[in-house]
Structure 1
Amino acid sequence: MQLYPNTIQCKNMAGMRDRLIHDYMGVNYSVVWDVVKNKIPDVQNQVHIILSKK
């Protein structure tokens, strides 16, 4: 995502994936649900904007 480095926080998404896959210190389901409800829609909109510019 070098073209849009400030738009989508790939490092944070990768970190979340690592925690879910490897169960580092347990999974906080409240945090997961918060991401699902509040962050994913924003990321989806950002991806749509990026793709519409190409």
Structure 2
Amino acid sequence: MKTALLLEKLEGQLATLRQRCAPVAQFATLSARFDRHLFQTRATTLQA
């Protein structure tokens, strides 16, 4: 019961986050992403 409620709450929070990030998800930046030292990517756009 608790697990189902927590999962439902998490899904709602993820949906809200997805909606809030959508407008900037495809914007390009002038340089590689800030996390280039953590991940092997030089992409300048966010990818889902």
Superposition TM-score, scaled by structure 2 size: 0.38
Which one has the largest radius of gyration?
A: 2
Superposition TM-score, scaled by structure 1 size: 0.35
